[in-house]
Amino acid sequence: MIVEELMGLLLNFWIGLAILIIVLVKFSIKFVPQNRAYVVERFGKYNKTMVAGLNVLLPFIDKIGYDQSLKEHAYDVPSQAAITKDNISLVVDGVLYLKLLDPYKASYGVDNYVYAVTQLAQTTMRSEIGKIDLDKTFEERESLNTNIVNAINVASEPWGVQVMRYEIKDIEPPRTVLEAMERQMKAERDKRATILDSEGERQSAINVAEGAKQAQVLAAEADKAEQILRAEGEAQAIIAVAEAQARALEMVGRVADTQEGQKAIQLELAGKAIEAKQAIAKDSTVVLLPESNTDAASVVAEAITIISTLNNTKTVTQQ
């Protein structure tokens, strides 16, 4: 009976020890997920930071004080009023992309780093918008975002967080300013349309003038070519006539050297002389006659004498 009681006590002891060991192992071994960090405190004081993987704690001595996420998170920045450099009130909101770099600083450097960075983003945004005019807030949104990120990162360095980027979601100016901007944009569009119309009319006029100029040039060139061709034709015709006359004179000269040619010339000259005297007698009431006889035989004799003289002169010249 006593042995059974001892065996029961021993069994309970081993069972209790096994349970204790299991509990100690459970509290001693910690598996940290990826992109998370556990801040470990020992007796209420910071001891270490456990990163992803297998980690060991001292049970009942160490405890996890903070569980921090190392992922990048997006946080909305509430809408707020801001005044531009030219005293225009705007309502601006944005989105903040934040990442924790140092879990120790984020745990002990600030009570709530998300709230702190959000407030810092609002104040920085108001400060940056106050440095520029209204028109620049729309035109230089990218540079405005960059300036806000740089300013926040400088101020949030002691908190162990980093702003990856900041985006302004919406900028809402007063209604009166919106109406004025709409009128300005409409006037600008009308101006561009007028300029485009005038440019089109100008180009059209230039094209018409260029076409007329080219037409005149082509017409002048065609007229010039026509005149050149006409002149060349007339010149060739004159040359052909001159060549024909030269050949005719050459043939006449060759025939005149013969006896038959001399007789023909005498007859031709006699006929010409008679026709000339008849014409003089017909057109004038006074006729001058030479002292010698005026019959046809005398005229022919005179013509023969002239031809003989010419032939004698030609012979002497050739010799």
Considering the domain architecture, whether residues 59 and 79 belong to the same structural domain is answered as: no
User: Tokens 């001891």 map to which residue?
Assistant: 47
What pTM does this model have?
A: 0.51
Considering the domain architecture, whether residues 81 and 106 belong to the same structural domain is answered as: yes
pLDDT of residue 3: 66
pLDDT of residue 97: 93
Beta carbons of 72 and 35 less than 8 angstroms apart: no
pLDDT of residue 237: 86
For residue 233, being part of any structural domain is answered with no
Q: Which of 148, 173, 198 is the last residue of a domain?
A: 173
Beta carbons of 172 and 90 less than 8 angstroms apart: yes
Q: Which helix (H) or strand (E) holds 192?
A: helix 175-256
pLDDT of residue 293: 47
> What CATH number does the domain containing 76 carry?
3.30.479.30
Q: What is the largest CA-CA distance in the chain?
A: 211
Q: Residue 57: name the closest of 44, 69, 40 by CA.
A: 40
* DSSP secondary structure string for all residues of 228-249: HHHHHHHHHHHHHHHHHHHHHH
Considering the domain architecture, whether residues 84 and 161 belong to the same structural domain is answered as: yes
Report the SS3 class of residue 125. Answer: helix
Considering the domain architecture, whether residues 54 and 76 belong to the same structural domain is answered as: no
Angstrom distance (rounded) from CA 226 to CA 217: 14
Torsion of CA 82, 83, 89, 92, to 10 degrees: -30
Quote the number of domains for the chain: 3
262: containing domain:
257-318
Q: Which of 173, 208, 233 is the last residue of a domain?
A: 173
For residue 126, being part of any structural domain is answered with yes
HSE (side-chain half, CA atoms, 13 Å) at 253: 7
Provide the residue-wise pLDDT of the chain in tens; the chain has 319 residues: 676 777 777 777 778 878 877 777 777 888 888 889 999 988 888 888 888 888 888 877 888 888 888 899 999 888 888 888 888 888 888 899 999 999 999 888 888 889 999 998 888 888 888 888 887 887 788 888 888 899 889 888 889 999 998 988 888 887 777 677 777 778 888 888 888 888 888 888 888 888 888 888 888 888 888 888 888 888 888 888 888 877 877 776 676 667 666 666 666 666 666 676 666 656 555 544 454 444 555 655 665 665 566 556 545 454 5
